[in-house]
Amino acid sequence: MCAPGVARPSSSFRFSKSRHAMFRLKWSRAVLLGGLLAVFAAPTRAADRPPNFVVIVTDDQGWGDLSCHDNPVIETPHIDALRAGGCELTRFYVSPVCSPTRACLMTGRYNYRTRVIDTWRGRSMMEPDEQTVAELLGAAGYATGIFGKWHLGDCRPMRPQDQGFDESVVCRGGGLAQPSEPPENDRRYTNPILWRNGQQFQSNGYCTDVFFGAAEEFIEQSVSRGQPFLAFVTPNAPHGPFHDVPTALYEKYKARSDALAELVPGGPQQVDTVARVFAMVENIDENVGRLQATVARLGIANDTLIVFMSDNGPQTRRYVGNRRGVKCEVLEGGVASPLFAQWPGRIEPGSTSDRVAAHIDVLPTLLEAAGVKPPAGLTLDGRSLLPLLAGDAGDLDWQDRQLYLQSHRGSHVVPGHNFAVIGQRWKLLRNSGFNSPYPLAESSYELYDLQADPREQQDRIADRPEIVSRMLADYHRWLADVSATRPNNYAPPRIELAPDETAATTLTQQDWQATGPGWGDQGEWLLHAPKQYPADVTVLLPRPAQGTALLSLGGTIVSQVLEYPVDRVEFPGVRVPFGDFSVHFEVVEGGESAPPRQIFIVPRAE
């Protein structure tokens, strides 16, 4: 089915963040005037209105965690119906971990252009000057909201509300039960402490239910204003830990342990973990059904494009269809995501496309659907998928393409480390260990013919050297290009302080430049202040400590003697320096050093 020839308003503009608020105010007045005129005008046809967008991105849900993908244990009837009612892209790719995928989704650009190169330790903060899909659609009159996981920076100017989202209900960092959450949340997924437009609040309900519920409220409010909307629904499920999952659904899958054991390598503990994952996934499915019902009840189904996908492969080894691999790996199981798109009247139910596509294509797709042209000078790596989704690709001679994926730990991008080049037929990869900043010694380059060998079991690197040479050269050209996006391209962005606001800037281990293993045993935060000013600084410790507390702000060190163990240290009236500086804290006693858990900087009235 070809998409109907619907003419949509097209806008070409040079986007400026400083003009965003003024544009939105003018647009709101236009909506009010339009609403008054509509009372006396003929009813507006759906084809004359810009479409709405709902983009659902789950967290660590594998390609095989769906009953429509022949998983014999899990039940996902509403997501299955979404697939049946629209188009499935059977060769849709994402990065092997979450933050890179999210940066690509938000910008339509490879994450190596955005300064996002990892998921933690200060390397998951996106360059503030990147233009997001929320900013681009917001400037064209859309209401924009995100509900769930952002994972591209918790502090100004990298928060979702700084990056074009009118409404945000999110968790911090990479999810709940991580160092970025308030200590009093105590790792809860049920009734978690969240942030609405930057303000902390106590939610009520299971986290996925809260996020979808907030999205539905946002959709209803947008429809009541007659405003087209973009709703990113990004639950942190089924990401671990798995201690707090929907109880009834867990009991359901726990009773299916024998069947689960057929899908899961390992013993009872691994089976129990997957039972918990499947409980979280079915809870997502229930929420997808409720959201679809809300869209139908509001009478906007024909005006709404709904997209469903995941951010990377499954976090445990389990069923992934005719593939192999898990999250963090660049094998198919680690980077293949479901992509279902439903838009009644525009996308034919039950249709499919096997053309390679990726996360970088979502933004261009939404822009084309909305009739919005990218700003002049903005380089997009993705291309619109509308021809594939609407069945027009043959008419447009859709060309074969190559996609480039690379992710690994560390503060530096290492050429040839944990990467894949994916074409329509051939895939060159080096699955060299995401969790190492450098390639594992035993890793090697591999070449697969995905048309004949989707499970990547027959390495063809020895008998097709000409293909290897070409794809490797293409990869190095791509890496050189994205690495040259801006000067000092891989330097982390700085957190900006706002001395004229009363809210605290919260520094957590999510955003520090760390040393040591894991989250880090010590580190510093890179900050910028527009002027010198006094502030009250509070430091939370991961455990009670005593000794000498040392707080460093730029070249200034403030000390305090802790005569007995405490879990909080106060530094009132500290002078925050002007310009770029770093913040470091430790408690020193007997040659041992204790790090902070979180630091709060609150401007003090002068």
**Of 180, 136, 126, nearest to 158 (Cα)?**
126
Instruction: Give per-residue pLDDT as tens, 207-266.
Output: 999 999 999 999 999 999 999 999 999 999 999 999 999 999 999 999 999 999 999 999
> What is the pairing mode between strands 193-196 and 199-202?
antiparallel
Instruction: Give per-residue pLDDT as tens, 450-477.
Output: 999 999 999 999 999 999 999 999 999 9
Structure tokens at 205: 């309900």
Contact by Cβ (8 Å): 430, 439: yes
For 13, list phi and psi in degrees, rounded to 5: -150, 160
Strand segments (E) across 415-512: 419-422, 426-430, 446-449, 495-496, 505-508
- Which range among 24-28, 123-127, 488-492, 512-516 shows the weakest confidence by mean pLDDT? 24-28
Instruction: With cut-offs at 50, 70 and 90, classify the pLDDT of residue 24.
Output: very low
How much is the pLDDT for 165?
98
Instruction: Compute the distance between CA of residue 91 and CA of residue 364 in angstroms, rounded to an integer.
Output: 18
Instruction: Compute the distance between CA of residue 526 and CA of residue 584 in angstroms, rounded to an integer.
Output: 9
Place of tokens 């069947």: 259
How much is the pLDDT for 400?
86
Instruction: Give per-residue pLDDT as tens, 255-272.
Output: 999 999 999 999 999 999
**Of 124, 215, 164, nearest to 19 (Cα)?**
164
* Domains along the sequence of the chain with CATH: 54-389 (3.40.720.10), 403-483 (3.30.1120.10), 495-603 (2.60.120.260)
Instruction: Give per-residue pLDDT as tens, 385-417.
Output: 999 999 876 645 677 899 999 999 999 999 999
Q: Is the pLDDT of residue 601 over 70?
A: yes
**Of 544, 548, 535, 533, nearest to 585 (Cα)?**
548
Q: What is the pTM of this model?
A: 0.92
Residue 117 half-sphere exposure, CB side, CA atoms within 13 Å?
24
* DSSP three-state, residue 27: helix
Does 241 sit behind a cis peptide bond, omega within 30 degrees of 0 on the bond before it? Answer: yes
Burial class (CB in 10 A: 0-12, 13-18, 19+), 48: exposed
Mean pLDDT of 177-183: 96
Q: Is the pLDDT of residue 423 over 70?
A: yes
Structure tokens at 29: 């007045």
Q: Is the pLDDT of residue 44 over 50?
A: no
**% the chain with pLDDT above 70:** 91
Residues 6 or more apart whose CB falls under 8 angstroms from that of 263 comprise 71, 72, 73, 274, 318, 319
Instruction: Compute the distance between CA of residue 335 and CA of residue 328 in angstroms, rounded to an integer.
Output: 8
Residues 6 or more apart whose CB falls under 8 angstroms from that of 39 comprise none
Q: What is the mean pLDDT of the chain?
A: 92
